[in-house]
């Protein structure tokens, strides 16, 4: 933990990053405060990413229960958290999106799971839709995975199909990635790993971080006994050109950083081809702006490829072994679009567990 913070030290620090989100804070912050124990172990921090609305005025009404961290210039999601977390002293960080509604006792099961296993570095709760509370939410559901080509999916959501929550994924599960909507991480691990990558700005930065941790030998867990509700797309709408651009570019960057050497260029080549097919499909469906976002993403990725390769080189000493735990060994694209496997259970797959560190 850092020792130079002006704030008290906590076991768990709940950190909400906001930017011109007074409406969301009014809707969800009171419940965060109400459900957070006042026993000295838990602290609530709102990191204001240079808001220009009346966010500060609203936050000042809670100064007896929360800590406010002001960021002078908005440089995106990842950098906002980087600057904000650097001022917080805690054993565990909870990165909580401002468009998430928490439920009673959402903290206790997660803290207990951390206490049970020192190899667990990151935990996410069950994430359900705020709009349809009997369904999982797109960004996280009951834990994230990737296939062997780096395409992400969830226990409860594959591409466009989101399942109803009928208790089918209620057991604690080792996963590949945890959602940034509600992301618990040990602070020591966060700092040792380098934290969120600033170059991602937003989108897939949490998958990249989890992948790094998996390659170090840490566990990523889903804890469905903890439950939250996510609006999703409140900042950047799902399917928007900007989201399409960042998802495609950042996915390629994280593959360069984290894949084993022998898999790197073959899989990047296949991904570029598949992305080109996605581009053609969007053109045919009339999604012109979104389709050209894929081309822009490829250009940016390729122009800056030396930078991404340097990041990979810098991580070489961090990697203990390239993890296969939580990586689906087939193509989720083929299974979904051609084999009709729309639910996680349809995959008939038991993810490999992380082998214990020696």
Residues with Cβ < 8 Å from 38, sequence gap 6 or more?
none
What is the DSSP track for 17-63?
EESS-HHHHHHHHHHHHHHS--SSSEEEEEEEES--SSHHHHHGGGT
Distance CA 314, CA 296 (A): 26
pLDDT reported for residue 237:
54
Q: Which two tokens stand for residue 137?
A: 């939410």
| Strand partners of residue 53 | none
User: Which residues touch 312 (CB under 8 Å, ≥6 apart)?
Assistant: 256, 257, 258
Contact 276, 270 (CB under 8 A): no
Adjacent-strand bridge partners of 175:
220
**Cα gap 302→16, rounded to integer Å:** 34
In whole angstroms, what is the distance from residue 6 CA to residue 278 CA?
Answer: 49
Tokens of 58: 């609203």
Q: For residues 179 and 16, what is the distance between their CA atoms, to the nearest angstrom?
A: 14
Rounded Cα gap, residues 132 and 249, in angstroms: 30
Exposure string over 44-56, b if 16+ CB within 10 A, otherwise e: bbbbbbebeeebe
> Can you tell me whether residue 182 is helix, strand or coil?
strand
CB atoms within 10 A of CB 114: 22
Which residue reads 């961090």 in tokens?
Answer: 318
The pLDDT score that the predictor gives to residue 234 is: 47
Q: Check: CB of residue 47 under 8 Å from CB of residue 69.
A: yes
- What is the pLDDT, as a whole number, of residue 202? 82
Please state the pTM of the whole predicted model. 0.94
The list of the chain residues with pLDDT below 70 reads 1-4, 233-239, 356-358
Single out the residue of 178, 175, 212 nearest to residue 94, CA to CA: 178
Strand ordering across the sheet containing 327-328: 161-162, 157-158, 152-154, 144-147, 327-328
Distance from first CA to last CA of the chain, Å, rounded? 24
Q: Are 76 and 202 in contact (CB under 8 A)?
A: yes
- CA–CA separation, 304 and 36 (whole Å): 43
Strand-pairing partners, residue 97, are 17
- Which residues have CB under 8 Å from 313's CB, separation 6+? none
The two structure tokens encoding residue 332? 């989720």
Tell me how far apart the alpha carbons of residues 230 and 24 are, in angstroms, rounded to a whole number. Answer: 11
């Amino acid at each position: 933990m850092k020792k130079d913070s002006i704030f008290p030290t906590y076991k768990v620090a709940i950190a909400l990053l906001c930017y011109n989100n007074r409406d969301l804070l009014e809707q969800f912050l009171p419940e965060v405060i109400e459900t957070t124990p006042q026993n000295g172990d838990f602290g609530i921090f709102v990191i204001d990413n240079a808001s220009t609305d009346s966010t500060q005025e609203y936050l000042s009404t809670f100064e007896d229960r929360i800590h406010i961290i002001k960021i002078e210039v908005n440089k995106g999601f990842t950098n906002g958290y980087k600057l904000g977390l650097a001022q917080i002293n805690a054993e565990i960080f909870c990165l909580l999106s401002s468009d998430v509604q928490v439920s009673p006792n959402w903290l206790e099961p997660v803290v207990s799971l951390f206490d049970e296993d020192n190899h667990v570095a990151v935990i996410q709760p069950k994430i359900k839709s705020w709009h349809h509370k009997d369904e999982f939410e797109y960004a996280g559901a009951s834990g994230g995975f990737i296939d062997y080509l780096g395409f992400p999916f969830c226990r409860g959501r594959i591409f466009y199909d989101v399942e109803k929550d009928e208790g089918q994924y209620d057991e604690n599960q080792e996963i590949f990635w945890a959602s940034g909507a509600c992301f618990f991480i040990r602070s020591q691990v966060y700092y040792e790993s380098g934290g969120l990558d600033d170059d991602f700005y937003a989108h897939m930065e949490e998958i990249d971080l989890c992948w790094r941790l998996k390659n170090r030998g840490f566990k990523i867990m889903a804890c469905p006994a903890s439950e939250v509700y996510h609006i999703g797309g409140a900042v950047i709408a799902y399917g928007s050109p900007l989201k399409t651009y960042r998802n495609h570019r950042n996915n390629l960057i994280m593959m360069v950083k984290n894949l084993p050497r022998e898999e790197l260029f073959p899989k990047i080549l296949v991904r570029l081809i598949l992305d080109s097919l996605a581009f053609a499909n969007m053109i045919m469906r009339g999604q012109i702006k979104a389709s050209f976002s894929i081309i822009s993403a490829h250009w940016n990725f390729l122009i800056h490829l030396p930078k991404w390769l340097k990041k990979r080189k810098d991580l070489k000493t961090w990697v203990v072994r390239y993890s296969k735990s939580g990586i689906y060994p087939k193509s989720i694209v083929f299974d979904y679009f051609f084999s009709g496997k729309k639910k996680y259970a349809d995959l008939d797959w038991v993810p490999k567990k992380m082998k214990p560190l020696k």
